[in-house]
Homo-oligomer: A and B are copies of this chain.
């Protein structure tokens, strides 16, 4: 099956231009066309996933389709953006129809769930690699950047941390317990915080999604904003399943594991106070921004020159 037939059969059904208010020409021409409403900004982000690096070899194609779009969409959540559309550059060793059908099914489910229409793409032959670019929109000037954290701001995270990272140990488990299954679900079916991201627009001073681990990602906010932070390890949100599986070591997972796709946010105290309870309930306050550089956990500076490797001593914690 040739490239064009491939695209037609498996990906054109995802185009659904109606899904995006702004996409006025989808796949099939030299370019796609988006008409951004006056007073709105376009925000966009690109993410690559390589087999054997970002996902295991022989990974289930429907999980891959979902995860690839979820990981990309998480960057829109971190800007507080409304999702619009995406492009898919798919490099495949062979046109395996069964694989493609599964991949397209996972991608379609994510496309529907996140409200992202396929705008265009490119299919090439080579080692399995995916690059997705997601497009969203926000009211002019309201995108939440990494640069806005100020001393005194509260540091908060959504959901629970460490689950997806813990799942890596159970990927080959033939009979996962319910707790393991809960971890695996977080890894295979991440749910980017798009709704929450939109809800905190106008309240949060800075935001990032937790893809590389809380310490690394919060570190990016601190560096971009020129500030430091103090965290309280007892306030880190850990799921009951992770706590049962990992005991005290769950704190290390919550600090270092990636792939959770939760949001890490900062809020001026008065803006936090002004937020609806329904939004606050989705967040845990874990610390405070300070003027002094460094990332302090329970009073100990663990920024060690600002590199994530400085946190290695947490690996064995507990």
Contacts and interface: CB of A to CB of B under 8 A. Distances in A.
Contacts of A51: 126
A91 B209 CA distance: 22
Nearest to A145: B29
B34 A44 contact: yes
Interface of A is mostly: strand
A33 B41 contact: yes
Interface of A: 24-25, 28-36, 38, 41-54, 75-76, 78-79, 81, 87-89, 91, 119-122, 124-127, 129, 131, 133, 136, 140, 143, 145-147, 207-209, 224
B29 A146 contact: yes
Contacts of A54: 124
Given A52-B126, A119-B44, A89 B131 contact: yes
A79 B31 contact: yes
Given A41-B24, A91-B129, A224 B29 contact: yes
11 contacts: A25-B143, A28-B146, A29-B79, A31-B44, A33-B42, A33-B43, A34-B42, A34-B43, A46-B133, A51-B126, A89-B131
B45 A41 contact: no
Contacts of A33: 41-43, 79, 143
A146 B54 CA distance: 37
A135 B136 CA distance: 14
Given A38-B38, A126-B127, A129-B129, A31 B140 contact: no
A177 to B, nearest CB: 33
B136 A133 contact: no
Nearest to A49: B124
Given A87-B133, A129-B129, A32 B45 contact: yes
